[in-house]
Structure 1
Amino acid sequence: MVRVAIIRFPGTNCDLEMAWAVKLASGDPEFVWHEDGGLESFDAVIIPGGFTYGDYIRAGAIAALSPILEEIRECVEEGLPVLGVCNGMQILAEAELIPGTLTVNVGNRFICDWVYLRVERTDTPFTTKYEEGEVIRVPIAHAEGRYYYENPEEIEDNVVFRFCGPDGDVSEEYNPNGSVGCIAGVVNDDGNVIGMMPHPERAAHSLLNSDDGLRLFESLVEWCRS
């Protein structure tokens, strides 16, 4: 059984949905309190969404200073897959485990909506069950989700998901938060750490209006088994 650590911080609130999605993909999720640590026996790590420490200073800034991030860094160096969703992506960015940073949405408003994403890479632990260029439908819910990188052309190969229209058209018309290059998800240079603002765990079953997110977790489980 593929064991997946789901990290909990004060203010984490998407942990149960994340565990449910991992179970649907035949994985074995286990909650790990950030102060307890102990990631040695896990096959993968997920940092779910929420509002860690009330998003004081900046979203994810305080959580990124937790000692468990050093353990996660060791997992990354060993090649384990690590996923950060929404607040989890913000934490990974603050810890410099993925390129770029997240800032307030254009219009300075919290956005909760369904969006379309174009899959740009299928060679990561979380995207092998997608097709390159495929369009998937998932929800977003964030206030500080605008991705920024000073020279986006330098990280073109790191882009995993982009906001797009239902036909795959990438343009500012379909960019909900003003992210540079319509970027919705990025991977580190080694390809095993992904941060994404949209919530695949909230689109893991047809009863949720989309099951497009389930294949992300199925990809992870299959990758770990192989």
Structure 2
Amino acid sequence: MLADNYRQVLNNIQDACQAVGRDPKEVTLVAVSKTKPVEMLQQVYDAGARVFGENKVQEIMDKYDHLPGDIRWQMIGHLQRNKVKYIVDKVDMIHSVDSYRLAQTIETEAAKKNVTVSVLLEVNVAEEESKFGLKMDEVLPLVQQISELPHVQVKGLMTIAPFVSNPEDNREIFRKLKKLSVDIEAKNINNTTMSVLSMGMTGDYMVAVQEGATMVRVGTGIFGERDYSADK
């Protein structure tokens, strides 16, 4: 069943790309596996998934050694600075950088392990009070600051759009983030690319793909409803 769910999401991404003339290879599906047991992740891995997203450092630590080594782990949740040291050499990308202090901590810990960490800046496009992330006008100044850090590389932007019943309601959110990434790309800032646009989740990822997402984060659409009792 999980394999079928995974393939269905891939088919939907393909359809969304076809609708706007995009190559589906431009879009990476992140299987959001928070609260899900290793056995379920293995099923989705066996169906072809290689990119998994987790919200909590502890879950990455718990699962890392129990699953194949070619998984590209994504840290997509809010990251506390005191937890950075545990994952800088384990994750493929951190999606949720929203302050220079956090970027500095990533720099310090990455330097200790002699790695370069790819990050996305989290943008709260809708300015929802309940969510983390930068305001739109805060993004460029932070990009310019982080570009000076040798062990941190900004690869693009991420947003968590509002929860809506009609995915079309988030189209403008995705459009704004895409425009911001294009504007920043045009400035040719050192040590910075805008190659990744992480936006769209189970309810609205097809709209996000149509508006330029290069990464979509799908949990419920693959694994089913989240098990909140597993939250720590």
The reply to whether TM is greater than 0.5 is no
Q: TM-score range by the shorter chain?
A: 0.3 to 0.5
| Higher-Rg member (1/2) | 2
TM-score, normalisation: structure 2: 0.33
| Bigger proportion of residues as strand | 1
TM-score, normalisation: structure 1: 0.34
| Bigger proportion of residues as helix | 2
